[in-house]
Each structure stands twice: as structure tokens, then as C-alpha cells.
Chain A
Amino acid sequence: MSQIELHDVTKRFDSGAEALRSISVAFEEGSMTFLTGHSGAGKSTFLKLLLRLDVPTRGQILVNGVNIVQLPESRVPAYRQNMGAVFQDHHLLAQRTVYDNVAVPLRVMGMTERDVARRVRAALSRVGLLEKERLLPRYLSTGEQQRIGIARAVVNRPRVLLADEPTGNLDPELSRDIMRLFEQFQEVGTTVIIASHERELIAAMGKPIIELSHGAMAQSAGEVDAATR
């Protein structure tokens, strides 16, 4: 059994537009996979379904054998506490310091401030921004803000890390640095799924790729699970 499995997943919006069409794919625990495709291919919708921000119109999404589509609303927060998410526009809290931004997931989980401090500093150290913990986000560069977003996504040691265009606003060198960070998280056992349209960067990483086109699986490359073939 793979860690994450999508079986015949379709997402149709109220307008009738089909964002995803009959997607079946699996992700092994500790793997790193790229999700690529043109703008509007369904990459963001794919990640939102995994985050349980939305539910598919049809199909199953199994996480460790549990169909998260049928998860009661009361259980969704606990599910999300084990997921990390990074977005292109960071969603950092402008009036909170870097430290407080990264601490949000830990405080939501009810950790003591001592544990929060330890983990926040470990996460900031991992992304190379420990010395900036007292600053507000507006005093950081775009690349640094993206790294804060990554720190917040990994501070609670998620089982799965999802990233939606994490390098969208960054130059090539910074983009490579961000991807190396994701590789490091994969190396400690986190399952990483990254949606990106930067084909050269993706190709250079040498990881499995799933390509979406108009909501359907166009092709897959690399060692993606047999369910995709």
C-alpha cells in the first residue's frame, strides 16, 4: 500500500469546468515527486484535494489506507496538522515576527512555549534564517520570505510536504537552493510533492514527474508508482 493513492479522482466545479479528470496515481512514503503542466492544468486543485481544502466530485483519496474524502469535518484539522504546505505567495502574517510566523502550527498543536522555541529555532536554522527571527516579514527579501514559509511548513515535522509553485518568484540560483531544501526534507522521510511549471529546474532534479494537461494525466516519467501506468 502506498502512502497516498488517488483512485479515479475527478473535480468538477459548479460552473461545469473540470479541473481534474479521472486521476489515478500513488505516492510512496518518503518519495519526492514533481507535478507539472501548463497554467490551469489542475496542479493547484490536485494539491488542495490532498490538503482536504476541497473534496473531489468523484473518486477516492487514500492516505495510509484512510479515505480522506470521507473524513468528518471534525477530523480534518488533525489531518492537516500532519501536512505541510508552501505556496508561491507565502501567506506570511505581516504583523507577526518571523519567529511567530513559524510558531503558528506548533501553537495550534498546543505545544509548550519551550518546545515551540526549540522547534522554531531548529526550523529557522535549517533554512538559514535563525538570526532574523525577530524581524517582520516586510524586512526580508522574497527568497527569505519563501524560506520562512518553508520553515513554517516543516516546523511540525509533517509526514507530507506539499508545495505549490514554491520558486515562482525566485531567480534560478535561489530556486535551486529551495529545491535542495526540499530534498533534505525528503532525505529524513518526508513525502514531498511539488507543483511547478519550471521544466528545466524539474529536469535537473532527476525526480519522478507527473504531467497534467487540462485536468488529466498527460504522462508520467521516472519511478512513479505502477498505479499510474
Chain B
Amino acid sequence: MPRRDKVTDPWGTLAPVGQRGLVASVGRWQRDHRRVARDSLIHVSQRIGTSLLVWLLIGIALALPGGLYLLQTNLALISNRWEGRPGISVYLRVDAEAGLGPSLRDEFTKDPQVDRITLITADAALVEFQKFSGVNEALVQLDRNPLPALLRMVFKDDTTPGELDLIADHLRARVGVDEVSIEKTWLERVQAMTGVVRRLGWVLALTFALGAVLVTATSVRLAIESQLEELRVMKLVGATDGYIRRPFLYFGLFYGLGGGVAGAMLISATIAFVEAPLSTLLGSYGQDLQPAGLNFGFFLGLLLLGGGLGVSGALLAAKQRLTDLQVI
């Protein structure tokens, strides 16, 4: 005979924890979740127009910050892959004397601050350019090689930025030198860009997450309004608030998961679209295009985030509409 809690149970239906009631309760809970999940999936798929719109909106909300996250990850990777040593690139004029490059190389090899110097002749630069750009036929039409010779100097770690500036100024003053580029400056710019992208990513993530939650909340609210009579009857016959809310949380979950899939598709399509020019750009800096972060964990993260945003929106709608639901 189940113990009757005189304070809260007029009917003597409560069973003490640890007895059959707990097993029965878990069974009821599982059955109800299975039924509600199935019915909610049917509901979402039957209203495919609305569902596609919600998925696309959530997908965009996830794709923008997701894309920025990937960009930031790859920028950080590029700057980490960098040799990490200060360097100077010296571009010689196209009409400079042929012996200028070797002369500068020999001169600065003796400098104790210089670790190593690489001379890339104009001919070697042309071959490298042809390999990356694929514009062979156009280059054949030219009378002469348009590319300059290049000296890459790598300095020892203890070389200060001030010393680099002095050397760069000295080189700029030399006849036959067209341009001098301090590579540490470039590296610092990449790192600064990474910082900007990271912060922008956070701002966009929060803004679009809020948007995704509101979009889901609106869609779920419409679903609630269309079922108000049924909800009133359910409450009359003894449905708990959790039971009434459950289908709508599943709506939110399915909207969110669909949005996660849409977001993953948008990101993948964007990467496929920019792959070719991005390869060229990275190749000009001696880097290969190997997008980091675009893995199973990233896609799973998108799905989980989408699902979380969907459920949050559903909770918001349920709280707004179901809290004081009048039964009759």
C-alpha cells in the first residue's frame, strides 16, 4: 500500500522513492520524450516553409561568427608558423646591375647580426611566380622578365626593431634597391589583425546569437498560439507545466540543430568559393592553404550551439506564453 502524504496528496497516489514508482516514473518519462520528439519532428517537417526560413536565419547567425572563428584560428596559425625571427626583404630594381644582388649578399653575410641571407634571382622569381599563378602564356609574350631579384635576410633573435630600422634605411639608400620590407612589421600586423578578428567575432557571435534566440522564440510562440486550446485541455486533465512545455522545447531543438547544419553548409560553401584566390595569396607568402579548425569538432560545436540557441528561444517563448495559461 503506497504511503499517503497527508499534506499534499488527497488521493494516496504518491509512491515512496526507491520502490516501483521510480522505475515506472522513468519509463513514463522515456515514453513521453520519445512520443514528443517524434511528434515535434513531424510538426517541424510538415511546416517545411517556416522551418527552412528558421534554419537559414539561424544558419546565418552561426556562419558569420563561425567563419570569423576559423579566420582567427588560421591567422594565429600562420603567425605561429612564421620563423619567428626578425627579417628584411630587399627588392632590387628591375634594371639594377646583375652583380648588385651577390654584392649585397656578400657584404651583409659578414654582419654578425645576420643569421643567413638568401638571394632569389629574377629568373628564379619568375619560375616561382609561374608555378603559383599559372599565367605562363601571358608571361611568354613579354620581352623581358618583369620580376626583380630579391634578397631575404634573417637576423638573429636579439636584433632589436631599432637595429632593423637602421639597416633598412641603409639599404633603401643604396643605388639599385627598389623596396625594403621589414617582416617583423608584417608579423605584427597579422597578430593585430587576429586580435581585431577575435573581438569582432565575439561581438557578432553575441549579436547574432540573440537574433537566433529571438527568431526561434517567435516561431515557437506561433506554434504555441496554434495549440492553445489543446494546452488548456491538457492542463485541465492534469498535465504539468513541464509536460506542456516539452514539445515546444523539442521544436526549438530541431530548429536549432537544422540551423547548425545550415551554418556548416554556409561556411563550407564560402570556403570552397574563396579557396583558389586564398591559396594564391598564402602562396605569395610561402604558406600553404591548410584551413585549420574545419574539423568534426567544429561542426559538432555548431550543431550543439545551434541546438542550445534553439532551446533557449523555446524556453523564452514558453515562459512568455505558458506561465499564466488560463485553463477554462
Chain A interfacial positions (CB closer than 8 Å to B): 48, 51, 53, 63-66, 68, 71-72, 74-75, 77-83, 85, 87, 91, 93-94, 96, 104-105, 107-112, 152, 156, 159
Contact = CB atoms under 8 A, between A and B. Distances in A.
A87 B238 contact: no
Give the 4 A-B residue pairs with the shortest CB-CB distance, closest first: A110-B28, A81-B238, A80-B238, A63-B10
Nearest to B28: A110
B196 to A, nearest CB: 51
A72 B9 CA distance: 10
B236 A91 contact: yes
A75 B8 contact: yes
B239 A110 contact: no
A108 B238 contact: yes
Given A48-B328, A108-B243, A66 B234 contact: no
Contacts of B238: 77-83, 105, 108-109
Which of B11, B12, B13 counts the most chain A CB atoms within 10 A?
B11
A112 B28 CA distance: 8
A112 B328 CA distance: 28
Given A66-B6, A75-B8, 12 more contacts: A53-B236, A66-B7, A66-B10, A78-B13, A78-B14, A81-B13, A82-B10, A82-B11, A108-B238, A111-B28, A112-B31, A156-B237
B229 A108 contact: no
Contact of A108 (B11, B29, B239): B239
Contact of A93 (B28, B229, B243, B327): B229
A160 B315 CA distance: 35
A107 B10 CA distance: 22
Nearest to A152: B237
B229 A91 contact: yes
A64 B29 contact: no
Contacts of A94: 229
A79 B239 CA distance: 10
Given A82-B13, A91-B328, A108 B8 contact: no
Contact of B237 (A68, A81, A96, A110): A81
B128 interface: no
A85 B238 CA distance: 11
A93 B230 contact: yes
Contacts of B13: 78, 81-82
A68 B239 CA distance: 17
A51 B74 CA distance: 63
Which of A63, A91, A110 counts the most chain B CB atoms within 10 A?
A110
A91 B11 contact: no
Given A68-B10, A71-B8, A78-B13, A110 B328 contact: no
Nearest to A3: B10
B175 interface: no
Contacts of B240: 74, 77
A165 B32 CA distance: 34
A110 B32 contact: yes
Contacts of B14: 78
B105 interface: no
Contact of B8 (A72, A80, A112): A72
A83 B13 CA distance: 13
8 contacts: A51-B236, A71-B8, A78-B11, A87-B328, A91-B233, A91-B328, A107-B32, A109-B28
B227 to A, nearest CB: 9
Contact of B234 (A48, A71, A82, A104): A104
B152 interface: no
Nearest to B24: A110
Nearest to B4: A64
A111 B7 CA distance: 26
Interface in B52-95: none
Contacts of B229: 91, 93-94
Contacts of B198: none
B17 to A, nearest CB: 15
Contact of B232 (A65, A66, A91): A91
A110 B10 CA distance: 20
B236 A79 contact: no
A75 B237 contact: no
Contacts of B6: 65-66
B12 A64 contact: yes
Interface in B215-241: 229-230, 232-240
B12 A104 contact: no
B35 to A, nearest CB: 8
B231 to A, nearest CB: 10
